[in-house]
Structure 1
Amino acid sequence: MSKLAADPNIADPDGFYARLLEAHRGLSEDESHALNARLVLILANHIGDEAVLDEALALARRLAEPG
């Protein structure tokens, strides 16, 4: 069973973030939300391991909680 890679793993995180922002340029808020949803589903399909996806969901939820 695989484990979620939670440590930094992107060679150029600033470059990736810039490309992510560029992908959203000119989109409405609804279109931007839809792009994010498609990206999540594409990456989830790429990962494929449901245990890893469950870890990612749990981590994202914990980080979204106040305090």
Structure 2
Amino acid sequence: MPNDHLILTPHLDAPDDFYEALLDAHQGLSTEESHAFNARLVLVLANHIGSLVVLRKALEAARA
């Protein structure tokens, strides 16, 4: 059974480095391209998580 726990406390190894990498990944993209990149990134990360239970919790947390 997959883990259905959503981690909402700080958990990134290097959050500032990730944020910098995220900003770098958007460099030179138009607004439309940036939105498309974000959508693809969400799908890649959702696939990595894999659990619909966790993903639904993440959607609720992001919307709150």
TM superposition score normalised by structure 1: 0.89
Q: Which residue of structure 2 lines up, in the alignment, with residue 65 of structure 1? A: none
CA deviation digits over 1:26-49, x for unaligned, max 9? 000000000000000000011010
Unaligned runs of 5+ in 1: 63-67
TM superposition score normalised by structure 2: 0.93
Q: CA RMSD in A?
A: 0.7
**Identity across aligned pairs (percent)?**
56
1:50 positional shift: 0.5
- Picking from 22, 33, 52, the partner of 1:20 is 22
Runs of 4+ in 1 over 4 A off after TM superposition: none
